[in-house]
Each structure stands twice: as structure tokens, then as C-alpha cells.
Amino acid sequence: MAGEREGVVDLRTMTPKERYDLHEAVLDFAEKITRSPEAAEELTQEALLRLMTTRAWDPLGPTTLERHVCGIVRSLLWAERTSKRPKYERLAMSEHVLVADGGRSAETMSLDRAEREGKEAVGARRVAKLRAKLKGYVLELLILDLMQNEGIRKPAELATRTGKPVAEVNDARERIRRYMKSIIAAESGEAEDEEVA
Amino acid sequence: MTKLTDSELWDALEEDALDDEMEAVLAKTPEERRRDLREAGFDLEKVHAQADALVAEPTRPAKVVALRPWRRRLAIALPTAVALAAGIALVMNLSGPEVVGHGRDDPPAVRAEALRREARDACGARNWPICLDRLNQARALDARGDEAPEIQALRRSAGDPAAHP
């Protein structure tokens, strides 16, 4: 790649085609995970700026440039999700704190504890909802159990443990995600919390 | 292995979804990505302009917006200035001299050649965005000159997908 020089990539020395291919790959990923062209553009630009400043890529390392920048996008989004929970989620967390603490104001509690408990309450409610929606889907529920109880996450390992083909496991994981999206959409008031096949 | 809490399980599910999405995007060809971006409503020319702006502008913009080419800025500024001057002349009932250009009164072919010289220099310095920009400006002034094999070779080296083989 033309942009490689002494272990550091410089976008300015890449050919336009190389830069456009990279930009498109990163933008495509950002759009897939945000479903918002505006958010995807902002994430892409931020990730590429980080690449040129604090998150340089090492061409001699094991990761491709595209994967490296997509990884930056992923961590930016994840940081945003965990530090700035959506309004509806923060509301649910503060409601939980008020109820759990006998009606005392949230200020009287440790913010850390409040946040932790609120996050757990949101998680518990969501997972309960997810399990309820997945009632009757034996493989999907088994995957949730293996993930939660044994920390198994890789499709191949899940396939081994469930005795199902990887393709079937992946279909089940897709169904789990569709239900998760419908739960989140319902929380944010974007859509009905309807059944998804 | 400690059992994950419900919150940790939800996070793990979300993280896995992100990872799988990344693998799916990375497995695509550039053509497939372009098709998907178009389907998602992106204008690829605008996307490329943003990519160019990112390397042309070293400071961190709040939001990178493709700069309007100077000719388009000129297309707005010049008629505005002419209209203002005409308005003033009308109000003052003056029949002043004809409004002339702003110094760029060389024939288009001459200006195009000057721009192509800048393009050659920029391409020589591997400054591809400037190189392409100057070539495009020159083409707008002198389309026939753009067909020259040397200019097309410059375009190819600058990565212009529309360049002739």
C-alpha cells in the first residue's frame, strides 16, 4: 500500500483509490451498525482522524488497515453506548434507583452504585423480555444459557455444545438479535414491540 | 467462569453483533460495498469529497463538509457582484464602463493549460486530490484538452475511475 512508510500509514500519501476504498469500507460498517447515514459519516470521520493521530495502524502487525479502522469505529460506538446511554435507558435507571432506595433522591446514593444497579435493572428487564419472546425456541434459549453460564460465544463452540450445525447456530443468533432490536425499538418508542419471526 | 449478569449478557450479545457485522462488511468486495452504500442513500461522489477533505484539512472539523469548488463559489459571487454594481449604477443614473472580470481574462485554453501545469506538479508530489481538482477545473474550461493521452495518464495515476484506459 502506498500509504505505508516506516510502520505508519499516512492517508495523505495513499492513492485516491486506496483512500476511497478504505473510506467506503468504514462508512459501510458504520452505517450497518448505526442505521443512520449522518451518524455513520460522523463515526467514519472521527475514526479516520484517530487513525491519523492517536490510533495509528502498524502495517507490520497482524491486522489489515480496514479491520483496524473498523475496530476504531466499533470502539467509538461502544464507548458512546456505554457512556451516554440513551435517554429512555437513563430514565429507566433513575426510576429504578428511586424505587430501590425507598423514594430517596438519587443524589443521596453513590452515583456509581446507582448507575450499576440501574444498569443491572435495565439488563435484567431486557433479558427477561428476550427470554419471554424466545419462548419455544429451544436452540436460542440454549445459546443464551451457554453464553450466560459458561461464557461461550464463538459460533463453532456453540455448535459443538448444542450439537447443531454452525449455520443453524448462526440463524438462531440472528433471531436473538432481531428480538433484541425490537425490544430496543420499543423502549425508544420508535416502533411497536411486535413479534418478529 | 463466573456467570454473567443479565446486563453483561446483553452487552456480550451486542458486542457479538457488532463483531459479526464487521466481519460481514470486511468480507465484501469494494463493488458490493459501493452498491450497499448507494442503496443506503449515500452519494459516492460526496463520500469521496469527504475523503479528500479529510486529508486536505489537517485540523479537526466539527463535521467535514465538502468544500464548494472555487468555480462554483465564483459562479455565485460574480453574478452577485455584477448585480450589485448594476444596481448602484441604476440608482446613481450612471452609465459607467462595462463591468469586467476580476483579472482572469486570459482565454480559457490558456487558463486550462496553467491549471494542467499545476496538476502535473501536484501529481508529481503525489498530492492526488489537488491533482484531480486542477484537472477537473481545466476540463471545465477546455474539454478537448482533457482528452490528450498525457492528461488521461495523469488522471489514471491520480486514481480517477473515469479516466480512459
For the record, the C-alpha cell of A189 comes out as 418508542
Mark whether A8 and A76 lie in a shared domain: yes
Q: Say whether B21 and A48 touch across the interface (CB within 8 A).
A: no
Q: Using CB atoms, which residue from A15, A28, A67 is nearest to B159?
A: A15
Q: Is residue A62 a part of any domain in this protein?
A: yes
Mark whether B89 and B142 lie in a shared domain: yes
pLDDT category of residue B70 using cuts at 50, 70 and 90: very low
Helices A87-100, A111-133: inter-axial angle, 10-degree rounding:
110
Contact A154, A119 (CB under 8 A): no
Mark whether A101 and A73 lie in a shared domain: no
Q: Is residue A129 a part of any domain in this protein?
A: no
Q: Using CB atoms, which residue from B7, B22, B28 is nearest to A120?
A: B7
Q: From the CA of B137, how many Å to the nearest CA of chain A?
A: 18
Mark whether B41 and B115 lie in a shared domain: no
Mark whether A93 and A161 lie in a shared domain: no
**Interface test mutation site (partner B, options A36, A146, A148, max chain B beta carbons within 10 A):** A148
Domain count, chain A: 3
Strand positions, DSSP E, chain A = 4-5, 8-9
pLDDT digits (tens, 9 = 90+) for A86-113: 555 555 555 554 444 444 455 555 666 7
Dist CA A165 CA A159 (whole Å) = 6
pLDDT digits (tens, 9 = 90+) for B14-50: 999 999 999 999 999 999 999 999 999 999 999 999 9
Mark whether B108 and B152 lie in a shared domain: yes
pLDDT of residue B103: 40
Mark whether B80 and B122 lie in a shared domain: yes
For the record, the C-alpha cell of B13 comes out as 450479545
Our measurement of the distance from residue B81's CA atom to the centroid of its chain's CA atoms, rounded to an integer in Å, reads 26
Mark whether A188 and A138 lie in a shared domain: yes
**Is this complex scored with an ipTM above 0.95?**
no
Q: Which amino acid is at A150?
A: E
Query: In which domain, by residue range, is A146 found?
Result: 134-197
Q: Is residue A94 a part of any domain in this protein?
A: yes
Mark whether B84 and B135 lie in a shared domain: yes
Kindly report which listed range (A154-168, B15-29, B104-118) carries the lowest average pLDDT score. B104-118
Q: Is residue B165 a part of any domain in this protein?
A: no
Mark whether A151 and A188 lie in a shared domain: yes
Query: In which domain, by residue range, is B85 found?
Result: 70-157
Q: Which residues of A touch B15 (CB under 8 A)?
A: 78
Q: Is residue A25 a part of any domain in this protein?
A: yes
Mark whether A18 and A71 lie in a shared domain: yes
Domain count, chain B: 2
Closest residue of chain B to A2, computed from CA coordinates: B126
Q: Is residue B109 a part of any domain in this protein?
A: yes
Mark whether B41 and B105 lie in a shared domain: no
Dist CA B119 CA B156 (whole Å) = 13
Q: Using CB atoms, which residue from A29, A41, A176 is nearest to B13?
A: A176
Does residue B104 register a pLDDT over 60?
no
Mark whether A182 and A113 lie in a shared domain: no
For the record, the C-alpha cell of A186 comes out as 420499543
Q: Say whether B13 and A81 touch across the interface (CB within 8 A).
A: no
Q: Say whether B128 and A176 touch across the interface (CB within 8 A).
A: no
**CB-based contacts of B30: which residues, under 8 Å, 6+ apart?**
A21, A24, A25
Q: Which residues of B touch A77 (CB under 8 A)?
A: 18
Mark whether B86 and B133 lie in a shared domain: yes
Q: Which residues of A touch B7 (CB under 8 A)?
A: 119-120, 122-124
Mark whether B77 and B106 lie in a shared domain: yes
pLDDT of residue A141: 97
Mark whether B120 and B43 lie in a shared domain: no
Q: From the CA of A21, how many Å to the nearest CA of chain B?
A: 6
Contact A9, A57 (CB under 8 A): yes
- Is B62 or A19 the better-scoring residue by pLDDT? A19
Q: Say whether B18 and A49 touch across the interface (CB within 8 A).
A: no
What is the average per-residue pLDDT within A160-182? 95
Kindly report which listed range (A55-64, B17-26, B57-66) carries the lowest average pLDDT score. B57-66
Mark whether A116 and A141 lie in a shared domain: no
Mark whether A57 and A15 lie in a shared domain: yes
Q: What's the whole-model pTM score? A: 0.59
pLDDT of residue A82: 72
Other CB atoms within 10 A of residue A124 CB: 16
Mark whether B42 and B81 lie in a shared domain: no
pLDDT category of residue A145 using cuts at 50, 70 and 90: very high
Q: Is residue B62 a part of any domain in this protein?
A: no
Query: Which residues 52-111 of B have a C-beta within 8 angstroms of A?
Result: 52, 54-55, 60-61, 63-64
Q: From the CA of A105, how many Å to the nearest CA of chain B?
A: 24
Q: Is residue B78 a part of any domain in this protein?
A: yes
Q: Is residue B40 a part of any domain in this protein?
A: yes
Our measurement of the distance from residue A68's CA atom to the centroid of its chain's CA atoms, rounded to an integer in Å, reads 17
Mark whether A79 and A110 lie in a shared domain: no
Q: Using CB atoms, which residue from A16, A28, A147 is nearest to B12?
A: A147
Mark whether B78 and B150 lie in a shared domain: yes
pLDDT category of residue B109 using cuts at 50, 70 and 90: confident
> How many CB contacts within 8 angstroms connect chain A with chain B?
143
DSSP string, A88-142: HHHHHHHHHHHHHTTT--GGGS-HHHHHHHHHHHHHHHHHHHHHHHTTT-HHHHH
Mark whether B152 and B79 lie in a shared domain: yes
pLDDT of residue B94: 44
